[in-house]
Amino acid sequence: MAKENSVFDKEWVDERDKNNLEGLLEQLNVPAAGITFIRENKRLLQIIAVLLVVAVVSWALYSSYRKNKIEEASSALTVALNMEQEQMMEALAAIGKDYSGTDAALWAEIKTAQELVKAAKTEDANIKYKELRSSVSGSSSLKALLIFGIAQTDEALGQYPEAALQYGELKTIEGFQEIGLSGLARIYEIQGESDKALAVYQEHLSFLVGNRAPGTAALIEEKIARLKAQ
């Protein structure tokens, strides 16, 4: 009796077909149309395969380089922040240049602007903050910090309309609402726009009551009463 073939029996393959692409494809049960397409476009497919390998390797190398660069930048920033004033400013400038594009470099630039404010170089700090703001995306966690820096320096320079715009934007950002509201109301008071200041203080009070901050709310209530009495 002839032995029936089992699905587990290995099909015999001619040794000469082991290195034959078409023979391999047939063994893999690739449809005839697929085999024809591969045969007709073999050169193109080989080029695509090489390009894919190059792309994957390049991305892996770039990711490794990027990771190392970020770690080096963070370490350099930590060291710089522990230096004396003059050395620190030089180190921060170097970090901003050598590690451009990293969060550490941006922090170094922001710290430089903050130090300029401390040194009474308010105009230079204002310019620095505005340069940085234009390079930061809307999703960056440092956006609000830069807006605050611009608002403060605009206010210190007497650029009140510009400061009002910055504080107005700041009051829409989560975690910075109080800073924005108090700053905007203050600017309106400085400009003698009592009605606008009153409206912002009332908005501030509503925010505080909603967030259960009674201590600060009492101070805002006093300012509201004072403006109403004028």
Residue-averaged pLDDT of the chain: 82
Last residue of a domain, one of 77, 107, 137: 107
Per-residue burial over 151-168, b if 16 or more Cβ lie within 10 Å, else e, is bbbbbeeebbebbbbbbb
113 near 148, Cβ under 8 Å? no
Burial of 73 (0-12, 13-18, 19+ CB in 10 A): buried
Q: For residue range 181-221, list pLDDT tens digits in order.
A: 999 999 999 999 999 999 999 999 998 887 776 677 888 88
Count of structural domains, the chain: 2
- pTM score: 0.68
Cα 178 → chain centroid: 23
In a domain, 169, yes or no: yes
For residue 38, what are the contacts with CB-CB under 8 A and spacing of at least 6? 21, 25, 30, 45
In a domain, 129, yes or no: yes
In a domain, 193, yes or no: yes
Range of the domain at 38: 18-107
Residues 138 and 84 in one domain: no
Last residue of a domain, one of 86, 107, 128: 107
- Please check the confidence at residue 8 and state whether its pLDDT lies above 60: no
For residue 169, give the CATH number of its domain.
Answer: 1.25.40.10
